[in-house]
Amino acid sequence: MIDIAGLLADNIMYMLLITLGGVLVSVSVHFVPVGGAPAAMAQATGIGTGTVQLAAGAGLTGLVTAGAMMGVTDNIGLVLASGAVGAMIMISVTMLVGQWVYIYGVGCPPASAKVKYDPITKDRQDLYVSQGTEGHAIPTVSFISGVIGAGLGGLGGGLVYYALLMMGEVAAGLTVKDIMSTTGHELVGLASIFAVGIFFMNAVIPSYNIGGTIEGFHDPKFKRWPRAALTSFIVTLLCAVLAVITLGGM
């Protein structure tokens, strides 16, 4: 039998960490310049693919780098930093290569259609936006916004993963470091797939919130983030309860 109430009471801290991680992932997506299909044709600012692919690419890299750090140390700060930096590197490389394709392949200058001046470089934007498009490529402000977003996403993903493993640690009677350095420990697989599931849910919710495309924190749609955060908070909290019972009852 599982003592559900007891498990929930023991793991309340980790449940809150998982929820916080989910909300961070949800907010982070609003920073990433997601261009979707229009951007793939250089008709909108941002990276030319959907939210889920970008969030998954950057966020799962964050999970891998956070996991790699867990095998070396128990320090939560280092683990989270590792997750954030991994995701930031991944999204930076994606944006950089995308930028090469837009500039040297398509032949368009990076320009935002949402603001007249780039808030960071103060460069004029509207003159460079081709007629009939919503901007193209990745201007400086979107690039920086994307890096911030990936950092938050990696932080959130790492937090979820770490909290899940810490919960299982109590059940398995091992430390996180021991679990990660044991090849094929079942807790690692279960925590990873839970983290991936929670991550995907929190990547899709904001993508419905922004209607598929956003340029970064200077985009008017960015102001909608509290709605996605509230939705993610409730949904992730429910998932955290399920995770506590699943992992704690192992």
Partner 1 sequence: MSVGGSGEAHAAIPQSKLIAFGIIGGLVGIYGAHFLGNIAGGVFSFMGALGAICAAIWGAGAVRRVASYGLGTGVPSIGMLALGMGVVAAMFGLAIGKGFEIAIIGPVIALVVASIIGLLIGIFANKVLKMNIPVMEQSMTEIAAAGTILIIGLSVAMTGSLMFNVVLEEVITTGYIAVIFIAGGMALLHPFNANLGADEKQDRTLYTALEKGSIAMILSGIVALSTQGASVGVVTILIGIFLWYFGFTGFYARVKRDAFKVVGTGLLPSEEELE
Specify the residue, 49 or 175, whose C-beta has the smaller distance to partner 1: 49
d(CA 61, CA 55): 10
SS3 154: helix
By C-beta, is 9 or 193 nearer to partner 1? 193
CA 224 to each of CA 15, 52, 125, 205, 221: distance values in angstroms, whole numbers, following the listed order: 26, 18, 24, 12, 6
Q: Which helix (H) or strand (E) holds 111?
A: strand 111-112
Residue 116 CB, shortest distance to partner 1, in Å, is: 26
Number of Cα atoms under 13 Å in the Cβ half of residue 16: 5
Residue 245 C-beta: closest distance to partner 1, Å: 6
Work out how close the CB of 159 gets to partner 1 at its nearest, in angstroms, rounded to a whole number. Answer: 17
CB atoms within 10 A of CB 181: 13
Residue 126 vs 186, nearer CB to partner 1: 186
Min dist CB 92 to partner 1, Å, is: 23
- Supply the minimum distance, in Å, between the C-beta of residue 2 and partner 1: 4
Provide, rounded to whole angstroms, the least separation between the CB of residue 185 and partner 1: 8
How many Cα atoms within 13 Å fall on the side-chain side of residue 127?
A: 4
125 vs 236 by CB, closer to partner 1: 236
Cβ contact 156:22 at 8 Å: yes
DSSP per-residue codes, 10-72: HTHHHHHHHHHHHHHHHHHHTTS-B-HHHHHTTSBSSBSS-HHHHHHHHHHHHHHHHHHHHTT
Q: State which residue, 31 or 199, has the beta carbon closest to partner 1.
A: 199
Min dist CB 198 to partner 1, Å, is 7
Is 85 or 180 the residue whose CB approaches partner 1 more closely? 180
- The nearer residue to partner 1, 53 or 140, going by C-beta atoms, is 53
Region for 135 from its dihedrals, namely left if φ exceeds 0, alpha if ψ lies in -120 to 50, beta otherwise? left
The footprint of partner 1 (CB under 8 A) covers 1-2, 36-37, 50-53, 56, 184-186, 188-190, 193-194, 196-201, 203-205, 207-209, 211-213, 227-228, 230-231, 234-235, 238-239, 242-243, 245-246, 249-250
